Structure 1
């Protein structure tokens, strides 16, 4: 007997998220029927959590996540029949080394050049900066194509090699930790404080669909934020909510954020 697909999806409204979860349930069913491992695309944090909640407790299918390193934002699910002990996420690291002024190239430049090759974002995990360029976790099926064709970023030549075995890239983190105070933990209040916008400008940006939280477009500024939320405001950048402190003397809330710097 198969999984109760519609019942598992009943709490999700029609739309992109429900469609993606339906495909993941179908993969789990294929895993159960074929007794063969299945692997999802790379998922953003919100989709990953939603999928894990749906699949938790399934009979005959074990679920693991893998993003190449424990703190990864983008991960894929490995679906295993029973208690299979040798999971394979079918992912590998590609190391890009710039022959030029590496400090002039940022995350968006590397990602843009990859997308320009026709590689879908879902086939890539995290892309991280390194001292010599960048490292990106990719689906093994596209690794050879990327290695052969990803030879330039901006105007600079790029050499790419496949990571050796269990080699882990040596990431560098460019960013700044900041402490700001907000009137509340609503997304509109936090967006206004982080990017120095008026509340009305923050509301306008959110209502226009410019805000993504944990990878999901969010148009409701009244929703409340939580620790580890990843906020991305199109045209402004990203911020990670690292800590929520106590109230200040004026009754505001102190929060700590991390803002990556692209260069």
Structure 2
């Protein structure tokens, strides 16, 4: 048996402890039953919480995958040390959804909503790639089969669904709106105000209401100081990247370049 409490004693945040504890429960199953176990799909910050803990445990191996190299949402596959895992053994798969809809008439939210409308949980679904009149969805293999059999429409459009290999996943390029501006400070509320064109007062209230993540870590302090390259996710609004921090102006304001993901 592993000493779970000793392994997570350094983690003070309750939600973060729960994530790592769920992963350690999977480790327990591997050690007891000598079988392969898979976590939920985690974001990069959740992955970063689990990996240092897993590295302290003997008699297991693990791999992290989301189906393709730059996947954002990924699972941790945990298995006995003596085993070898090949890609065809991964317990996740991919499906392609296509139909008679215009290239830009459906977005990520439409496809996610349709899939969750089947009664599936978000943590069992990986990345959703949308573009070129189709969507590719990564999920647990058994859920890929379930979606294939049960999903008939996305929004008002009838759709066709087929299983695909990870090699056949579409290549999606992110598009950005470039915002040039000046800010009084590099505080979270200041950068979000510049990036989304809303007042700092409004932004601050939403930050306090747990609507914001920085590099996937929840942050509820408007005074949190950002750094160049930080990714800020704003629930209900979208995402921005603090791409560049320039010199100060004569009025002692920072010149910044912000990329807003569109």
Task: Give the structure-2-normalised TM-score.
Answer: 0.87
> Do the aligned partners of 2:212 and 2:233 also contact (CA within 8 Å) in 1?
yes
> Do the aligned partners of 2:228 and 2:245 also contact (CA within 8 Å) in 1?
no
> Do the aligned partners of 2:95 and 2:163 also contact (CA within 8 Å) in 1?
yes
CA shift digits 1:112-142 (9 cap, x unpaired): 1111111111111111112122111111121
Map of 1:34 onto structure 2: 33
1:179 Cα offset (Å)? 4.4
Unaligned runs of 5+ in 1: none
Residues 227 and 23 of structure 1: CA distance in aligned 2, closer, same or farther (over 3 Å): farther
1:173 match: secondary structure: coil
What are the residue-to-residue correspondences of 1:78-117 with 2, within 5 Å? 78-82=77-81, 84-87=83-86, 88-117=89-118
> Do the aligned partners of 1:127 and 1:135 also contact (CA within 8 Å) in 2?
yes
Unaligned runs of 5+ in 2: none
Map of 1:183 onto structure 2: 184
What are the residue-to-residue correspondences of 1:32-181 with 2, within 5 Å? 32-82=31-81, 84-87=83-86, 88-164=89-165, 166-181=167-182
> Do the aligned partners of 2:93 and 2:144 also contact (CA within 8 Å) in 1?
yes
> Do the aligned partners of 1:211 and 1:234 also contact (CA within 8 Å) in 2?
yes
CA shift digits 1:135-182 (9 cap, x unpaired): 111111211110112221111111111104643323353443444444
> Do the aligned partners of 1:244 and 1:253 also contact (CA within 8 Å) in 2?
no
> Do the aligned partners of 1:129 and 1:173 also contact (CA within 8 Å) in 2?
no
Task: Give the structure-1-normalised TM-score.
Answer: 0.87
Map of 2:239 onto structure 1: 238
2:128 match: secondary structure: strand
| CA distance in structure 2 between the aligned counterparts of 1:256 and 1:3, rounded to whole angstroms | 47
1:83 Cα offset (Å)? 5.5
1:255 Cα offset (Å)? 4.5
1:36 Cα offset (Å)? 2.3
Residues 51 and 118 of structure 1: CA distance in aligned 2, closer, same or farther (over 3 Å): same
Count how many residue pairs are aligned between Structure 1 and Structure 2.
259
